[in-house]
Amino acid sequence: MKAFDCAIIGAGPAGMSAAIELAQAGADVVVLDRADRAGGQIYRSAADSPLPDAAHLGPDYAAGADLITRFEQSGATHLAGADVWHLGDDGRILFSYQGETRELHCREMLLCPGAMERPMPIPGWTLPGVMTAGAAQVMLKSDAVVADGAVFAGSGPLLYLIVAQYLRLGVQVAALVDTTPRKHFFDAAPLMPRALQQLGNLRKGLSLLREIRASGVATYRYAENLEVIGDNRATGLRFTASGQQQEVSADTVFLHHGVQPNLNMSRAMGLAHHWNSAQMCWQVTVDVFGQSSVPHVSVGGDGAGIIGADGARAAGRVAAQNILFRLGRISQADRDQRVRADLNGLSALKPFRRFIDYLYRPTEALRLPRDAETLVCRCEEQSLGDLRKGFEHGARDPNALKSLTRCGMGPCQGRQCGHVVAGLLAQWRAESPEEVGYYRLRSPQRLLTLDELGRYDTVQAEAAE
């Protein structure tokens, strides 16, 4: 079987940018992505938006169309609809494609799994009608579907962006419930002078807030004690703001308080990880080139730590040049010269990123559940009370708790509950999440049918479709 020089998992900003660099250098590169078209979450449908005027989504989204076009014309092999479920130490990759199991081999791997939204396990968060702000964007970008009269709750740039996009499209928004604590503004203030080096990014954020304020939509600041109202489905949101209890009626509630790296692939491969105390999440440990603890595996974009779309594109290009060096196609001196501008750009983003991390740091009240009946593991329907009982019966780490309660054994394999479980155990043990650890993950990374496993084929660099 002829191996690819490099296999890239994920066709978001980092994956596409890396593929363009590698293909232009003459490398045999294949990009595996579960979506039907490249773009990732940020640039989803940017090249073929179903909206009559995609300009309502902003210039950053429009910039994704050019990247997608350049990627599709780069000569890289792109397998859309390929759902990777095994990554081997020997360069072997197994994935589902068109109802069959496919196998390929590669000399280098670049994981670009992107980010996922942080769960907000407040009372009622599992009721029908409750979704994430990211889900609102998926519906809007993929199918031009909106939820009229929804309430948006949480904090952070993505939340404000989707509210602004709704308002530009003339969609009614019931309320914006902003949970950013007053204290966070004071905590982040000392970081503002250095963040001003990224004045353009600051202006974007301030512009969104001004746009929302000018619209007249009801906005509640410093909100606490959030609770989704409803018995069989969501009927609104109850919370406290300015010392008074408030209630907003809505059939749809969108929640958001930040994103975190999607770790399942890197965890299943056994890559080294560390706890990021600023972003309150685990992330894979990589060097400046995206090189992980396993020699032939690199990680790029938000999958290696939240850096945003521009940062992800730069990180993808940097990882690609390092892979070309590892493949023996360029010298170390060439690599260092080619990545200098992008590394400088990524370094310049760090003060702004740090400011954002402090300002929108997820509060414990929204990061961890408080009500014993609140579900933590949606797949196995395990509540906070169930997990507490498991802890009291001797489960002191995530894997022991999984064994006792089945929390994390469902179809999502802990993607939703992993950080919450680590946070709860850290709280109960009075230790840091890094001391507590994370789930031990293995392949396959998704549910498979026997019929799919029985249909097996290989993909080779010289015969890739």
Would you write out the chain's pLDDT as a tens digit for each of its 465 residues? 789 999 999 999 999 999 999 999 999 999 999 999 999 999 999 888 898 888 888 888 888 999 999 999 999 999 999 999 999 989 999 999 998 999 999 999 999 999 999 999 999 999 999 999 999 999 999 999 999 999 999 999 999 999 999 999 999 999 999 999 999 999 999 999 998 888 888 888 899 999 999 999 999 999 999 999 999 999 999 999 988 999 999 999 999 999 999 999 999 999 999 999 989 999 999 999 999 999 999 999 999 999 999 999 999 999 999 999 999 999 999 999 999 999 999 999 999 999 999 999 999 999 999 999 999 999 999 999 999 999 999 999 999 999 999 999 988 888 889 999 999 999 999 999 999 999 998 888 888 888 888 888 899 887 444
User: Where exactly are the structural domains of the chain?
Assistant: 4-116+262-356, 121-256, 370-436
- Are 47 and 65 in contact by the 8 Å Cβ rule? The answer is yes
Which fold would CATH assign to domain 370-436? Arc Repressor Mutant, subunit A (1.10.10)
Residue in 378, 383, 133, 126 with CA at minimum distance from that of residue 230: 126
Give the pLDDT confidence of 130-174 residue by residue, as tens digits: 999 999 999 999 999 999 999 999 999 999 999 999 999 999 999
Query: Which superfamily is assigned to 4-116+262-356 in CATH?
Result: FAD/NAD(P)-binding domain (3.50.50.60)
pTM, entire model: 0.94
Check if 121-256 and 370-436 are the same fold: no
Nearest 5°: CA angle at 24, between 22 and 29?
40
Residue 148 identity (one-letter amino acid): D
At the top level of CATH, which class does the domain 121-256 belong to? alpha beta
| pLDDT digit string, tens, across residues 285-330 | 999 999 999 999 999 999 999 999 999 999 999 999 999 999 999 9
The full length of the chain comes to 465
